Amino acid sequence: MKKFLVVLTVIVAISFSFNVGTFNKAEAATVNQQLTQPEEGWKRFNNDYKSFKYSSNMITSTDSKSFQGDHQLVPDTNPGNGRLEFKFKGTQFRIISLKIRNGYTFASSNVKVNIDGKTETYNPINGNDSYEYQILLYEKTGLEDAVHSVEIYTDDNKTLVIDAIDIDADGEIYPPDTIAESLKLNKEALELTVSSSESLVATITPEHGTNKVIQWTSSDPEIASVDDNGNVIGKKPGKVTITAETTDGSNLSATAEVTVKESETAEIGTRAILRLTMTTKDIHEYDLSLSEIDQFMNWLDGREVGQGKPYYKFKLNVTIGNIVSRTEYIMYDKIVSFTVDDYK
């Protein structure tokens, strides 16, 4: 009897542990579920957050059941297209608001969500005649960890309602029309030779600036020109100033001083003396044209990878007796080192 009770107790304990684990397992909220608080890994911003930008016909309406007691909407007495704009840094965001009761004729059933130029829709209309508050109406996840532009709007002259926005717990929300605060170039000075080029890189802060287009100019394009990407090309000797300017109304600029010099071309002769040191310590000299030097170097490079003949032929000018020409064959594996002396 005692043994039976012990076994039964263990079974009950295991069963209880399993059930507790099952009930405590957290599951992420899904669209159309109520979400009164942001889930783990998320952060909530009420609709009155300073960085949100609403269209002029959006107003605040008090409702004790909404998130923090208020929400933005287009008024019933003046229906029209509403719009909320913002930027956020992160990989995901959610729209939290009420499900509007069926039959509310001023409410839009086709709310647009534009993220970085791509538009999706959601329907906030409830399937019955009651309101449901603090509902997860829309969710977007898996975005690149970067700054994203968002517009939530209607285009059917009907009501738009927004209670709150949830984003990554370590993310941030910014105004949609932020202008540049600083502009810097990667270099303050460049030295180029005629026909050479180098790119200047402009960095604008903050990262979420609305317009990051830079206008590039050169104080003298005949000395050095610059294209729309900051690529500077030397044209003739001299000094110029390259200027980068913002185009978002912040009126910021940065400059780099560019010095262009003549190309330094090494003086090269028309012929050369090739001296080969052999494994026997003998030295062989050949008076060759530069093209013949190139041919020899190509053969040597080929032998390095096992290509070509194992020997190289040099034609010699010989006038001994009745000999009219002589060819000397140099074996690749007999060469220890060599030098090339150019001369005119």
- Which residue in the block uniquely carries the two structure tokens 């009651």? 130
- 145, 174, 203 - which closes a domain: 174
Instruction: Evaluate whether 71 touches 138 at the Cβ level (below 8 Å).
Output: no
- Among the residue ranges 126-140, 171-185, 297-311, the one predicted with the least confidence is 297-311
Domain identity same for 50 and 137: yes
Tens digit of pLDDT for each residue in 265-278? 545 567 889 999 99
**How confident is the model over 20-79, as pLDDT tens digits?**
433 334 578 999 999 999 999 999 999 889 999 998 888 777 666 666 555 666 666 666
- Asked if 227 and 188 sit in the same domain, the reply is yes
Q: Per the domain annotation, does 163 fall within a domain?
A: yes
d(CA 6, CA 172): 56
Q: What is the mean pLDDT of residues 220-229?
A: 93
Q: What pLDDT was estimated at residue 189?
A: 94
Do 249 and 285 reside in the same domain of the chain? no
Whether 19 has a pLDDT exceeding 50, the answer reads no
pLDDT single digits (tens) 305-324: 777 889 999 888 766 777 77
Stated as kind and residue range, the H or E segment containing 157 is: none
Which of 203, 237, 261 is the last residue in one of the domains? 261
Asked if residue 157 and residue 70 are part of one domain, the reply reads: yes
Q: Are 175 and 87 in contact (CB under 8 A)?
A: yes
Residue 227, domain CATH: 2.60.40.1080
pLDDT average, residue stretch 130-153: 93
| Boundary of a domain, candidates 239, 261, 283 | 261
256 shares its domain with 279: no
Residue 20 lies in a domain: no
Residue 106 contacts residue 158 (beta carbons within 8 Å): yes
Q: With the CA atoms of 315, 317, 323 and 325 taken in that order, what torsion angle do they form, in degrees rounded to the nearest 10? A: 30
Domain count, the chain: 3
Same domain, 62 and 137: yes
- pLDDT > 70: what percent of the chain? 85
Q: Is the pTM of this model over 0.75?
A: no
Can you tell me the mean pLDDT for 9-21? Answer: 37
Range of the domain at 218: 182-261
Whether residue 247 is found in the same domain as residue 285: no
Band of pLDDT at residue 188, cut at 50, 70 and 90? very high
Classified as helix, coil or strand, 8 is helix
> Per the domain annotation, does 70 fall within a domain?
yes
Same domain for 134 and 47, yes or no, is: yes
pLDDT for residue 78: 66
Report residue 49 as tokens.
């957050």
